Amino acid sequence: MALGPQLKKFKYKGRKKGKRLKGEMEAENLLQAKAILRGDGVRDVTISEVKPKQKSSLDIDITWGPFGAISAKEIMVFTKKIATMMRAGLPIVEAMILVSDQTKDANLKRVNNDMIHKLNGGSSLSQAFRAHTRYFDNVYLNMVEAGEVSGKLDTFLDRLVQMLEKQQAIKAGIKSALFYPITLVTITVSISYFMLTNVVPTFQEMFESLGAELPAPTQAIVDASNWIQQGENVGRVVNTAFAIFLGNKILTRYVYPYRKIKSMIALRLPLVGDIIIKSTVARMSLLLANLLAAGVTVVEALRVCSTISNNTQFREAMDRIQAKIVTGAPLSQLFANEKVFPIALSQLMAVGERTGNMDEMLESIARYYEEEFQTVVDGLSTVIEPLMIVLVGAMIGAMVVALYLPIFSAGDAFSGG
């Protein structure tokens, strides 16, 4: 791919049809900028190059941790713009320069400008992208490389955009299903904390004036209130929660048996496991269809697909399939031998093998499992919402009843006396 030189920015003033005008423009050099303006009928031109702003010692890009993150949505929009401009016939460097001017996200602009610099320095597009593996995963990088090698980069970028949109839809579905229960749990915890720290102490003073022994539920609420009002106890809870969170992160990253056990448990959880399986199969089928349609070998396509999930069960299964495909066994049979994949997947693959339209069949499989995923997510929302309402109501109701039990008991005692 021929790469043009880096464009420079110029400021200009001049006259056109008797009217004064000024503005900024891009060109390879000063002579080209003047020629473009003359061609546009601009006369009495005063033009100067806009020098890039030099960073001071205080002007530092903070990119570690969350400060350097780029959202999946930003990556998807960036890819979509590049694909659209390339479809319109723009060279990749010009397309990326235009996208950089339109980008508001500081981190994405920095990454994009670095890639433009690498392209102008003679790097290939895939090499420029691979310098930023923090933001572009293996699937993305392999799709770009396959498009570059095949000479169909615009087609591959379109397919990549399609995949990213599907992934966004899947993530949005999961977030939508979890939003309601998380909100209710947060509200419940907040109300419970407020009652234990503000309401229960008031009742406790009243209970002490009664002088009677408290019922077991009421005593439990009072004890919980006394415990939570001690700051060091809350600190212990926070520290314990943070230690569990950090320990889980470290073990998940560095201890493979732990990660494997977590993956196995996740797939066996009711509804949650079904969501993971269906979303993973949908994404894998679509990626496999795109790679095979582009002429990528089955072995290479399987290697790329093995990185689509962090679940060790899927990764190990894909590694075994990749190792056995060289024996000449049908792809459908290899998938059928792996219990982590639904049996319907291998059956539909077998149909694609018989008809010779494997890539089309895989796209159909992806659509089928996307619909199945959406059905499961909708079902999860339907089950969780009323269940959470009942649990929240029961928890708050039990606390209120426990607080009023001594009053009821006192009333009964007076009426009996």
**Which string of DSSP letters, residue by residue, matches 336-370?**
HT-TTS-HHHHHHHHHHHHHT-HHHHHHHHHHHHH
DSSP 195: I
Q: Enumerate helices (H) and strands (E) in the chain, giving the number of each.
A: 17, 3
> In this predicted model, what pLDDT tens digit does every residue of 166-225 receive, in sequence order?
888 878 877 877 787 788 888 888 888 888 888 888 888 877 776 667 888 888 888 888
Q: Out of 43-52, 113-122, 153-162, 332-341, which region has the weakest mean confidence (pLDDT)?
A: 43-52
Report the distance separating Cα 241 and Cα 235, nearest Å: 10
Residue 372 has pLDDT above 70, yes or no: yes
- Report residue 2's pLDDT band, with 50, 70 and 90 as the boundaries: very low
Residue 285 has pLDDT above 70, yes or no: yes
With CA atoms as reference, report the closest residue to 69 among 110, 98, 102. Answer: 110
Q: Out of 227-241, 245-259, 299-313, 371-385, which region has the weakest mean confidence (pLDDT)?
A: 371-385
Report the distance separating Cα 163 and Cα 161, nearest Å: 5
Alpha helices of 131-194 — where are they, by DSSP H? 138-150, 153-194
The region, left, alpha or beta by phi > 0 then psi within -120 to 50, assigned to residue 137 is beta
First to last CA, the chain: 99
pTM: 0.68
Answer yes or no: are the C-beta atoms of 48 and 78 closer than 8 Å: no
Q: What is the mean pLDDT of residues 55-61?
A: 48
Q: What percent of the chain has pLDDT over 90?
A: 13
Q: Which residues contact 50 (CB under 8 A, 6 or more apart)?
A: 8, 9, 10, 11, 24
SS3 276: helix
Q: What is the pLDDT of residue 392?
A: 81
Report which residue type is found at 209: S
Answer yes or no: are the C-beta atoms of 308 and 287 closer than 8 Å: yes
Q: Which residues contact 361 (CB under 8 A, 6 or more apart)?
A: 348, 349, 351, 352, 355
Do the strands 19-27 and 43-49 form a parallel or antiparallel pair, or are they unpaired?
unpaired
Q: Out of 69-73, 148-152, 370-374, which region has the weakest mean confidence (pLDDT)?
A: 148-152
Residue 68 has pLDDT above 80, yes or no: no
Q: What is the pLDDT of residue 394?
A: 86
Residue 413 has pLDDT above 50, yes or no: no
Q: Which residues pair with 47 in a beta bridge?
A: 12
What are the CA-CA distances from residue 67 to residues 70, 105, 375 (Å)? 9, 11, 36
Q: What is the pLDDT of residue 61?
A: 53
